[in-house]
Amino acid sequence: MILFVGLGNPGRVYAGNRHNLGFMALEAIARAAGAPAFRAKFQGQASETVLAGERVVLLLPQTYMNDSGRAVGEAVRYLKIEPRDVVVFHDELDLPPGKVRVKTGGGAAGHNGLKSITAHIGNEYRRVRLGIGHPGDRALVHNYVLGDFAKADAPWIEALCGIIAANAGLLAKGEDDAFQTRVFRDMEAAGLP
């Protein structure tokens, strides 16, 4: 059993925010896998599917970004899984738009969603870091992450989410390096950032 978590803020007002790229990626995985409709569970919206022969619970915390750990912690305890069986999809300021890196553990780099998850389940969960770029000035970060993507960003966001969904089975099997390589290659082949 693997838990995939998409980070974001609930509600229509946040739907297009850069901070919601984790939600967007997880929703794309659910669509591509033909997962059942999300329903209220674990202080979030949850569904379940099978990817590459692995049972995967998909979770969109509804606790708002800064309290994401409450929902993740509840799911981890209920499912009786270890932090290494948790894969968190989140926006990443320190990567250029459209770039993806996967790692286990590490710091939160100021990301309050990651800080909350670490406080609830420890640090040894897997992170799929989805690049959104940096506004260039630390004072601008708050408004930047809570701002909507530009219309011009739509092609790479759609492509990235589709490519992540097409290769999510590799993450379910624990093949993080292969997933990262495949996403890089497919985005490059599409001529996108």
**What pLDDT score does 110 carry?**
83
**What pLDDT score does 2 carry?**
98
Name the pTM for this structure.
0.97
Q: With 90 as the cut, is the pLDDT of residue 19 above it?
A: yes
Tell me which residue range forms the domain holding 36: 2-189
- Could you confirm whether 19 is annotated as catalytic? yes
Question: Domain with 160 in it: what CATH number?
Answer: 3.40.50.1470
**What pLDDT score does 21 carry?**
98
Q: Which bin fits 153, alpha (ψ -120 to 50), beta or left (φ > 0)?
A: alpha
- Domains of the chain: total: 1
| Strands of the 2-6 sheet, one edge to the other | 39-41, 44-51, 54-61, 2-6, 86-92, 126-131, 100-104
